[in-house]
Amino acid sequence: MKDIFHRLKAGELVHLDDPEFYRVDEVVHRTIALSPLLNASTNINDARSKLSEIIGSSLDESTTVFTPFYTNFGRFIDIGKHVFINHACSFLDMGGITLEDHVLIGPRVNLVTENHPLSPSERRGMLCQPILIKQNAWIGAGATILPGVTIGENAVVAAGAVVAKDVPDNVVVAGVPAKIVKKIGHDHS
């Protein structure tokens, strides 16, 4: 049997009474303990260092994270180079969150990879799907990206949008639910 972390990332239904769920709880408890240290950071280098400790890999020096920053798990976050994450973002990452290079994340953005079944008898279980934000995408203030969504290269998600479906490259999406409102032309400079 695959371990619980592989099952979560594979999108399998994992019940909270799963015999391996204590392993998830251990990571969550560690992240909860480290989060106040991250959010007490007094400079960008300290914030980058503390978030690196939470996610278990070093963030590149070109990446900026403004605190406060919230995550319930942290170990399945992968952040590229020249990424900017503004204040008060929340990353629920048990399904995996990848931010490629040059991604911009506005304030109060929610990236949510975790869900629950609709059936009341199964609702205490977890269903996770990854979020991928491709290079040079920009997620506007207060937007929410839901489980399983890929945001294409150079795409823009307007402030306040709720994105439940994949977003193609080079478009702007807006609204609830988010829909394509504009295509983005290529720079010729």
In the block, tokens 């300290």 appear at 46
Write down the catalytic residue from 6, 15, 29, 116. Answer: 116
DSSP string, 134-179: -TT-EE-TT-EE-TT-EEPTT-EE-TT-EE-S-B-TTEEEETTTTE
For residues 102 and 82, give the distance between their C-alpha atoms in angstroms, rounded to a whole number: 5
Q: How many CA atoms lie within 13 A of 148 on its CB side?
A: 9
Distance CA 114, CA 128 (A): 5
Angle (CA) 64-25-45 rounded to 5° is: 15
Question: Is 116 assigned a catalytic role?
Answer: yes
- Residues labelled catalytic: 116
